[in-house]
Every structure is written in structure tokens, then in C-alpha cells.
Amino acid sequence: MEFTGAQLQYLDHLGIDVWVPREQLLQQAVAPSHVDQQQVVPPVNDGAFSEPVRHASEAIAPQVSASMPAANPSPQASTQISNHDAAVAPAANQVAPAVVQSAATAPANQSASPLNSAPAYPVSDLKAVQGNKQADQAEQPSIEKAPIFNIQFWCYSSGLWLVSGSVNLEPEHHKLVHNIAQFVQGKKRKPRHVGIFSWPMIDSPNIDQGPEVAAKHLKDHIHRLQEISAVTKVLAFSDCDEWFSHLNPVKADFTVDEILQSAENKKALWQQLLPHQITE
């Protein structure tokens, strides 16, 4: 089939390299081809392929014939095509402003949404949570400041215990304490335990190590020492006597260092201890 120059130019503008008339396609559809011999099996249980597949020529022919103009386009048809293009162009130009307008109004609509204006946390629930936290803080007992002290123990086999709040002692201090113990119990007794109890046990402000807790742990320590040497009499120097009130101690009026540095204090202590000497 031969085309006129106007038809070839029209097809070139449409990007069509090969054009087949509809009548020729319909004639080819009658003849058997390898496409008809292939059986298309739709997938199992797939409703999308329930409609039978038509022949390729039947699907292509209406589209080609509908999009292809007549062999000899009349001036009236050319005028209709140009009018159609002129009508489509303004419609296409109106699409972009609409998209721009919708994009411009999107943030405003989004900010006006009640979900965006709602608080991140309901006010009533927030007050309830804050009230519960305050109640919990009120119920928690305040942690008392831990007392800082050290106690030096001398435990003798006779049941005599000497306790001092001074722990940085020199050999002269230990010798003085041993002489005091010999004056009270005799010269044949030796200490079974010499050790130090220190408080607080650990450096942690979040753990309750107040006076009551300290007294409890000190009593537990005393009970363990009694397994080594049962206590019958306690001589407490003035820097630690308040921790042994439950043992009814003999309270000295001086510290170990004050007795060592003063002969008057030593004489006063001898006189105080005369009624407490242990006799066998």
C-alpha cells in the first residue's frame, strides 16, 4: 500500500514506523498461527485470569484502527485534530497549578488537624502521674547521714573487753592498755582478739547507714566476738562509751591518749578501776 506525502509526514510525527490496515489484520486472524496453538493456562484459584484470553490480533486491531486516521485526511478532520490539541493544552496547563495549590495548602490543613493541636500527654493523666510521684517521694523515708567512727577492741580470755574510739595508736598506747588490763584481771591473761570495727562500711550515700543501722551492725559484730571471748566486763574509754550502753560498761573519763599524756589522768583511772578488779 502506498501512502501520500502528507500521510507519511503525519505518521512520522506520530512516531509510527509501520502501519497495517485493519482489514489486513482481520484477514491474518483467520489463518492459524503459532500464537493460537499455545494454550494459556491461567493460575489456579486466581480470579484475575478467569476471563478467557482473546487473540492478540483482536486486542491490537481496535486500538490501531482507533488511533490511526483515515488514509486521506480531509481538511475538516485536520481542523478537528488541531482543535482537539488546542483544547487539551489548556487542560494540561491547569493541572500544574492545581498540584501546586494542593501542595501549598497541605501544611495548613495538617497544622489544623486536631491530632496536631492535641497535647503530647493528657493534662489530667499528667497531673495524676505527678501526684503519684510526689506521693511516692513522700512515702520514702529520708536517709539519715551515716555516722563516721572507728572502735578498737581488746578482748581478753577472762571476759574483760577494753574498747577505744582512737585507732591510730602507737605501740605505747597498746602497752598502756595491756597494763590496764593486767591491773583489772591479773598478769597471766592475754588478749584473744585485737581488731577494729569501722563505720560506714561502704561509701554509698544511697544506702541507709544511719545511727540505727550502725548500732545494729555493731551489735552483730559484738555477738561474733563473743564466740571468741565471752564478755563479762567492758571498759570503754570516753571517745566510744555511748556505743556500749547496752552492755553496762565501766566508762572511763579519758581517752587512751589523754591517759598516756597525763600522770594525773592515769592516777584517776586507777582509782576508778579499783572496785572493778576481777578476783579468782
In angstroms, the CA 154 to CA 192 distance is 8
- Cα–Cα distances (Å) from 154 to 101, 124, 143, in that order, read 94, 64, 33
* Beta carbons of 259 and 266 less than 8 angstroms apart: yes
Whether 81 shows a pLDDT value over 60: the answer reads no
* Position 26 pLDDT exceeds 90: no
Instruction: Render pLDDT for 49-80 as a digit per residue (tens, 0 to 9).
Output: 444 444 444 444 444 444 444 444 444 544 44
Q: pLDDT higher for 13 or 151?
A: 151
The answer to whether the pTM exceeds 0.85 is no
User: What are 173's strand-pairing partners?
Assistant: none
Domain boundary assignment for the chain? 5-87, 149-276
Residue 89 — pLDDT band, cuts 50, 70, 90?
very low
Q: Give the span between the Cα atoms of 196 and 153, in whole angstroms.
A: 6
User: 56: Cβ–Cβ under 8 A, 6 or more apart, which residues?
Assistant: 35
Q: What is the pLDDT of residues 234-267, one digit of tens each?
A: 999 999 999 999 999 999 999 999 999 999 999 9
- d(CA 191, CA 201) in angstroms, rounded, equals 25
Residue 159 contacts residue 232 (beta carbons within 8 Å): yes
